């Protein structure tokens, strides 16, 4: 009796099963004297993009199982013993009180020296941090660098005697809407849980724990829940393209996933890692204004320019105030939004065009404190340029803006 084997992609079988997950199945066909046929179901690769690390072997991308097998050992479970100050009462004689608790999250190993990348909010106010590895070993960790403005933190564990599996960092710049992605983390304490999805959108903006904006954020529908924070968002070749940080919970109170998650781009982390490793913090510049993008939605205002950043407010004592940049003094409601009109419109910085508030935030964010810049303004019908010496970004945003 002879036997033949037929290979069918798992995606096809899953469709036939109404969307169920199919890994392996055997189908026996009664062929009489001709024998039987065994049907083997294999997972379809997440992408047709070749895995260049295995190009010699002719690899045409990785399955979710492949990515998990390769990268899950590098994902860690983080527990932080935290102490927070609470409001004092008259019975406390004016002395602030403290409250103890435990915060949990995820992270991932980035090198053999024992450095672990996670979210800053996972280790905020921590007095003790432990990291559990894939082999269930638990070790103490310390924060060697933290940047609340990007919600990133760099931890260090002693690598001696540990079998560390660093994850490979990719590039968020190459991500495209529709690309398959995988999230690995510890939602609700369930260690090394894998979820799959796609890149739902790019260049989103979320708010950092200190109130400043995080730009170029990746949106994904891969299920992310409390405990996933700090874990990797991985592309189809097994490389990290983002750090899972926030979820949109809708109007519910469960705090669970509704299909909208956000990841800080890995390129942001790669850019600030050298500063975190060297000094433990990131030197960011600060202008001290809030602004509104000038675009077609404001056409009815007959502004002197069609694009730029309209200054809404100027922080007292800020570099902007010292340079003479002016905020508006007229209130108006346009499209349901409360605006302040009459202020300067920033159109360029050091000759580089500024077409929106995001443009302004991006160029200021690329500078260091103490840097001198030339800001081009449209002040009514007159164009002018002022010199500004940028300050260090404060620990918390006085308001939303640059």
> How distant, in Å, are the alpha carbons of 64, 167, 185 from that of 68?
6, 11, 11
Catalytic-labelled residue, pool 51, 66, 121, 200: 121
| 219 bridge partner residues | 201, 262
Q: Are 250 and 258 in contact (CB under 8 A)?
A: yes
H-helix or E-strand spanning residue 268: helix 266-279
The Cα diameter of the chain in Å comes to 94
CB 229 within 8 A of CB 245: yes
Does 171 participate in catalysis according to the annotation? Answer: no
For 134-190, give the DSSP string: TTS-EEEEEEEEEETTTTEEEEE---TT----PPPB--GGG--TT-EEEEEE-GGG-
Q: Using an 8 Å Cβ cutoff, are 151 and 106 in contact?
A: no
Specify whether 160 is catalytic.
no
Q: Which of 66, 151, 221, 267 is catalytic?
A: 151
Give residue 117's Cα distance to chain centre: 12
Instruction: Tell me which of 172, 229, 245, 397 is the catalytic residue.
Output: 229
Asked whether 118 and 241 are in contact (CB, 8 A), the reply is no
Short-list 352, 359, 350, 351, CA closest to 310:
359
The Cα–Cα gap between 275 and 368 comes to 12
Pairing state of beta strands 330-334 and 232-234?
unpaired
| Residue 229 is among the residues annotated as catalytic for this protein | yes
CB distance 41 to 6 below 8 Å: no
Report the alpha-carbon distance of residue 28 to residue 119 in Å, rounded.
Answer: 51
The answer to whether the Cα torsion of 332, 334, 336, 337 is positive or negative is negative
What is the DSSP pairing of strand 285-286 with strand 232-234? unpaired
The dihedral sign for the CA sequence 158, 161, 162, 163? positive
Catalytic residue annotation: 121, 151, 229
């Amino acid at each position: 009796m002879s036997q033949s084997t037929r290979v069918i992609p798992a995606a096809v079988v899953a469709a036939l099963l109404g969307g169920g997950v199919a890994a392996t199945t055997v189908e026996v066909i009664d062929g009489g004297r001709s024998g039987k046929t065994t049907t083997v179901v294999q997972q379809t690769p997440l992408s047709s993009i070749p895995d260049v690390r295995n190009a010699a072997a002719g690899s045409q991308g990785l399955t979710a199982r492949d990515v998990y097998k390769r990268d899950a050992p590098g994902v860690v479970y983080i527990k932080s013993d935290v102490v927070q100050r609470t409001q004092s009462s008259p019975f406390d004689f004016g002395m602030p009180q403290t409250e103890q608790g435990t915060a949990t999250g995820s992270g991932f190993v980035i090198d053999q020296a024992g450095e672990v990348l996670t979210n800053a909010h996972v280790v905020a106010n921590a007095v003790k941090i432990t990291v559990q590895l894939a082999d269930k070993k638990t070790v103490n960790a310390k924060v060697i660098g933290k940047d609340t403005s990007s919600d990133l933190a760099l931890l260090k564990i002693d690598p001696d005697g540990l079998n560390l599996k660093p994850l490979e960092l990719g590039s968020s710049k190459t991500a495209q809407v529709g690309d398959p992605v995988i999230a690995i983390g510890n939602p609700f304490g369930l260690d090394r849980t894998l979820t799959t999805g796609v890149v739902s959108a790019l260049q989103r903006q979320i708010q950092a724990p200190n109130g400043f904006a995080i730009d170029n954020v990746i949106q994904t529908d891969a299920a992310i829940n409390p405990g996933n924070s700090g874990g990797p968002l991985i592309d189809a070749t097994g490389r990290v393209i983002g750090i899972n940080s926030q979820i949109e919970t809708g109007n519910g109170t469960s705090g669970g996933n509704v299909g909208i998650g956000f990841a800080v781009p890995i390129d942001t982390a790669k850019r600030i890692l050298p500063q975190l490793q060297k000094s433990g913090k990131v030197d960011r510049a600060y202008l001290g204004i809030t602004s509104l993008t000038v675009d077609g939605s404001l056409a009815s205002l007959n502004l002197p320019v069609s694009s730029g950043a309209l200054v809404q407010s100027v922080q007292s004592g800020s570099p902007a105030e010292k340079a003479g940049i002016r905020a508006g003094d007229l209130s108006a409601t346009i499209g349901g939004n409360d605006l302040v009109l009459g202020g300067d419109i920033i159109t360029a910085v050091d000759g580089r065009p500024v077409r929106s508030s995001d443009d302004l935030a991006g160029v200021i964010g690329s500078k260091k404190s103490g840097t001198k810049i030339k800001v081009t303004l449209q002040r009514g019908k007159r164009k002018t340029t002022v010199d500004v010496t940028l300050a260090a970004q404060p620990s918390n945003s006085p308001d939303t803006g640059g």
